[in-house]
A and B are shown apart, each in its own frame.
Chain A
Amino acid sequence: DTAVSQTPKYLVTQMGNDKSIKCEQNLGHDTMYWYKQDSKKFLKIMFSYNNKELIINETVPNRFSPKSPDKAHLNLHINSLELGDSAVYFCASSSRVGRGYEQYFGPGTRLTVT
């Protein structure tokens, strides 16, 4: 069973389009995250939801809008895609309890904007 899954795995689209990436976790975690990894492998958090409530919202263009319909799902919608949005987007989840909690990552969605 896949713990954290993302769809699609690859997404190629043109500038100006609107697209969504979906994430689901079956670990029973209460917190989910979106990260962006650029071409140099640098990883940066974008958003985090805890029990469907937004708790982390980094400096991200408002073209990016996360939505969490329930604790097990966190989707990312991107409007008016730009070339600079090309990256790998990772979803992750964790349990918001304890010092040593760990985040479990999905396999990533490689977004290419042409």
Chain B
Amino acid sequence: GNSVTQMEGPVTLSEEAFLTINCTYTATGYPSLFWYVQYPGEGLQLLLKATKADDKGSNKGFEATYRKETTSFHLEKGSVQVSDSAVYFCALKRMDSSYKLIFGSGTRLLVRP
């Protein structure tokens, strides 16, 4: 079946540290991949996406590369800020008529000053 596995949190970092949040997926065919972010008390916002192998999505200093050989879409940022504290969700979109998004369990990031 289709699934997304994320590293468990919370991930606690100091400001300006390097961030990696791991995400791997299982899917048939070639899904599209997404990272969503949920700030405290808010809904989910799309952070970045990639629609085919080797694509790199990037936004607000965050990056993730669609790696088909390792079925991964790890999220990275070179220097985190306190304002990046949030829950990050990796997701895949099935390439069939269901148009479902399948989410990982979310990873909470805490950035300390």
* B45 interfacial by beta-carbon distance below 8 Å: yes
Q: Are B106 and A41 in contact (CB under 8 A)?
A: yes
Main secondary structure of the interface of B (DSSP, over half): strand
Interface string of B73-90 (1 = CB under 8 A from A): 000000000000001010
Query: In chain B, residues 20-43, which have Cβ atoms closer than 8 Å to a Cβ of chain A?
Result: 32, 34, 36, 38, 42-43
* B17 interfacial by beta-carbon distance below 8 Å: no
Q: Are B51 and A105 in contact (CB under 8 A)?
A: no
* B105 interfacial by beta-carbon distance below 8 Å: yes
Given contacts A99-B95, A100-B49, A102-B34, contact A45 B100 (CB under 8 A): yes
Task: Tell me the count of chain B residues lying within 8 A, CB to CB, of chain A.
Answer: 25
* A25 interfacial by beta-carbon distance below 8 Å: no
Q: Are A96 and B99 in contact (CB under 8 A)?
A: yes
Q: Are A99 and B32 in contact (CB under 8 A)?
A: yes
Chain B residues near A90 (CB-CB < 8 A): 43-44
Chain B residues near A66 (CB-CB < 8 A): none
For A91, give the chain B residue with the smallest CB separation: B43
Partner of A107, one of B42, B98, B105, B106: B42
Interface string of A73-114 (1 = CB under 8 A from B): 000000000000000001010101001111111111000000
Chain A residues near B99 (CB-CB < 8 A): 31, 48, 50, 55-56, 94, 96, 101
Chain A residues near B106 (CB-CB < 8 A): 41-43
Chain B residues near A4 (CB-CB < 8 A): 43
Interface string of B27-70 (1 = CB under 8 A from A): 00000101010100011111001011000000000000000000
Q: Which 3 A-B pairs have the closest CB atoms?
A: A105-B43, A100-B51, A105-B44
